[in-house]
Structure 1
């Protein structure tokens, strides 16, 4: 069961607003950093865009 919880945490999807909030920046700043290739572009699932939690956590830790 612990393995399943760990796996689901890694695969969790983080949206644009939550990513900006975790970095403590404005959405426009996040967009600019994505355009400047500081962060990878988000994945698309239809109209929804997201980053995987594992990537977001690595970015937050590197700050």
Structure 2
């Protein structure tokens, strides 16, 4: 059997040997969740796309 999904929780790794069908929208759910948290800053200095959060600035000094 193949390992389909790996979870990292509290510094431990867990592997499943079956495909969990409830995870098919996990990236979209994550993106929506983070966007809801940072809604006031959306498109001001951050963009969330799937499992990445991009933080940007027009000036390097603001970014650092």
Q: TM-score range by the shorter chain?
A: under 0.3
Query: Which structure carries more strand by proportion?
Result: 2
TM-score, L = length of structure 2: 0.27
TM-score, L = length of structure 1: 0.27
Q: Compare CA radii of gyration and give the structure with the larger one.
A: 2
Query: Which structure carries more helix by proportion?
Result: 1
Between 1 and 2, higher relative CO (CA 8 Å, sep ≥ 6) is seen in 1
